[in-house]
Amino acid sequence: MSSSLISPSELDYIIRGVDDNLRADGRGRLDYREVILETGLIFQANGSARCRLSKGTDVLVGVKVEIGSIEIDGTDEEVAAVKAKRGRVVCNVECSPIASQQFAGRGADDINNELTQLVDRVLNGPQGGLNLEKLCIIPGEECWVVYIDALVLDYGGNILDLIFMTIRAALYNTRVPKTVIEEDKEVEISDDVEEWERIEGWELVPISITLNKIGTRHIVDATVLEELATKAKLSVMVNKNGKICGIQKIGGGSIEHGLLNEMMQTGRSIGQNLILNLDKMLQKEDEINAERAKNDKIGFFAAA
Amino acid sequence: MNVQFLFPKPPPSIEEVKDADGDIDMLLKSQRQKFETKVVTPGEVIAKDTQYMRGHGTYLDENETHLASVAGVVERVNKLITVRPLNTRYTGNIGDLVIGRITEVSNKRWKVDINSRQDAVLLLSAIHLPGVQRRKTEADELQMRKFYSEGDLLVAEIQGSFQDGSSSLHTRSLKYGKLRNGSFLIVPPTLVQRTKSHFHRLDCGVDVTLGLNGYVWVSKPSSRVLNEMSEDDSEYIYSNENEPIGKDAREAIARVCNCINALSKSYMSITDTTISYAYEASLNFSVKEILKLESIELIANQTKQRLKA
């Protein structure tokens, strides 16, 4: 209900806990909560995934690929030449009002915009990992458009990190149909599911590690109450190779220069480890899905 | 016109069975067993018999069959069938102990979130005013935020309810009041049962306050013994300062919190007994390991076994 309020004594308890490296749920400063991951839950989508943090955030992502026209905007010829040879990624993040009271009514508008823009900017740039040129079908005319829709179903802190994790898992799960261009420039889509392919470069899609500055120190994977005690947040986008693909500072507080560097380094190493673990989970998920397909048990409740 | 009066008589299939107290039970034992801790999902058939009365959480279809409208446990009082939902908001009852969070300070009253459908009300006249026992003054009205301000957590008792169904709270005893030195967590309100006392001191040296509304406060015991008459103490109950909490105490609090979360995740009732059983079962793990699903399962199973024994 009153998820945006915290009492002074709770605040003090959290700050001192962070100082002692022992948070309210027994985690240290740099411990992540357990992530539960499922893929292939939505029939109609080309790829989907759902990630949950134990006792917290729940994010569902669906990926749909559709054929669209290449949009060439702007007058810069160089930019236009690059864009003509590329597919597009369109992102949308929505925080459902069932997740938290604070998303009810128009309350989610700001955070939806903020998250959508951030995800869009990361995935459409050169650092996004996806090989957008492979998504081009007829240069200057037609391409695949990848629609990524993220839905936040439950809120227990650390939304952004989970959104990126889920998007990465959903892109892993995505298969793009093969296309054949016929003589009259008609695009033929292959029906053979076996021939469908993953989007090239999904493994280089970055994930985000959000560091929350509480007191003079920083923690990862904050809970709702910890987020309320946070002065400033720094989200570091890291890919599999440990390259930083973007950073974003959220919140009004300040971060000292030395701390900023430290936070970026921590984000990088944690991110790389997390990606390794997630990739293992994705591989396991593939086996589970193959097993499920045999039993005809695919869908939202199959994993339960 | 011929009017005929039909006298009520028990349906022929029902025999009168006397239970241990000598009360006449209207249902056969076999029929009664049908209702004992039966969990239903929405739309599930509860009873086909037309003799039952429709209670909360149920509805009738065109064949007069009783169906559940919520997921929960079937409960029966004589012929009245109700379904108590597993996941529900808290409904206040007079005398209940609840934990709440102040959401609003308004004219001579506070609004308090108690996980109910509506915020509860705490009147300025229903709190323990600092100083010797006295009437509230205008000065008190002006400094209401000194007692409780937005976000503060407090433990209170439900004093009554208003016409619209919202509850009115009071904190007139020193048992009640502001919460300090600990950690707050939320469990489903159905898991907390009404007991003699809701303030527990566990063997591990941690205080647990179980609100009937599903809000739980786990804290380090206060070193200060409060005295109703002392003026210092009545100021102290509104303080926001935490006492220093050592690393061991912090760890114990975190462990108890995680154990309660583990119990609520496995949908087990939360009492001082189950918490201490779970605590003892959890000692094989480090505090943060209790967050993992496998350990939650292990702890829950061990607790269940000890409860049965």
Say if B209 falls within a structural domain: no
Contacts by residues B277-285 (CB-CB < 8 Å, ≥ 24 positions apart)? B277/B302, B277/B303, B277/B306, B277/B307, B278/B302, B278/B303, B279/B202, B279/B204, B279/B255, B281/B306, B282/B255, B282/B258
Interface residue B263 vs chain A (CB under 8 A): no
State the ipTM, two decimals. Answer: 0.85
pLDDT given at position A56: 82
Say if B30 falls within a structural domain: yes
- Whether the pLDDT of residue B40 is over 50: the answer is yes
pLDDT given at position A160: 94
pLDDT tens per residue across span A19-47: 999 999 889 999 998 888 888 888 888 99
Say if B23 falls within a structural domain: yes
Say if B38 falls within a structural domain: yes
Say if B63 falls within a structural domain: yes
Work out the mean pLDDT of chain B and round it to a whole number: 85
Q: What is the mean pLDDT of residues B118-146?
A: 85
Confidence of residue B234 (pLDDT cuts 50, 70, 90): low
Say if B258 falls within a structural domain: no
Which of A2, A20, A55 has the CB atom closest to B113's CB atom?
A: A2
- Whether the pLDDT of residue B206 is over 70: the answer is yes
Higher-confidence position of A82 and B28: A82
Min mean pLDDT across B84-88, B108-112, B236-240 is at: B236-240
DSSP type of residue B13: T
First to last CA, chain A: 27
A8-289, CATH topology level: Ribosomal Protein S5; domain 2 (3.30.230)
- Whether the pLDDT of residue B225 is over 90: the answer is no
pLDDT given at position A179: 84
Distance CA A271, CA A32 (A): 11
Chain B: nearest CA to A222, how far in angstroms? 14
pLDDT given at position A129: 85
Residue of B148, B180, B255 for testing the chain A interface, max A β-carbons within 10 Å = B180
Min mean pLDDT across A251-255, B11-15, B104-108, B167-171 is at: B11-15
When divided into structural domains, chain B yields a total of: 1
Chain A: nearest CA to B245, how far in angstroms? 9
Confidence of residue B252 (pLDDT cuts 50, 70, 90): very high
Distance CA A173, CA B60 (A): 44
Distance CA A186, CA A189 (A): 10
pLDDT given at position B37: 73
Q: What is the mean pLDDT of residues B140-144?
A: 88
Find chain A residues with C-beta within 8 A of B291's C-beta.
Answer: 25-27, 33-34, 54-55
Domain that includes residue B29, residue range: 17-85
Q: What is the mean pLDDT of residues B190-204?
A: 92
pLDDT given at position A303: 47
**pLDDT lower than 70: segments of chain A:** 1-3, 74-75, 296-304
Give the CATH number of the domain where residue B47 resides. 2.40.50.100
pLDDT given at position A128: 85
- Whether the pLDDT of residue B213 is over 90: the answer is yes
In DSSP notation, B100-161 reads EEEEEEETTEEEEE-SBSS-EEEEEEEE--SSSS----HHHHHTHHHH--TT-EEEEEEEEE
Find chain B residues with C-beta within 8 A of A154's C-beta.
Answer: none
- Whether the pLDDT of residue B292 is over 60: the answer is yes
Interface residue A71 vs chain B (CB under 8 A): no
pLDDT tens per residue across span B153-181: 999 999 999 999 899 999 988 889 999 99
Tracing tokens 């650390």 back to the chain, one arrives at A158
Interface residue A302 vs chain B (CB under 8 A): no
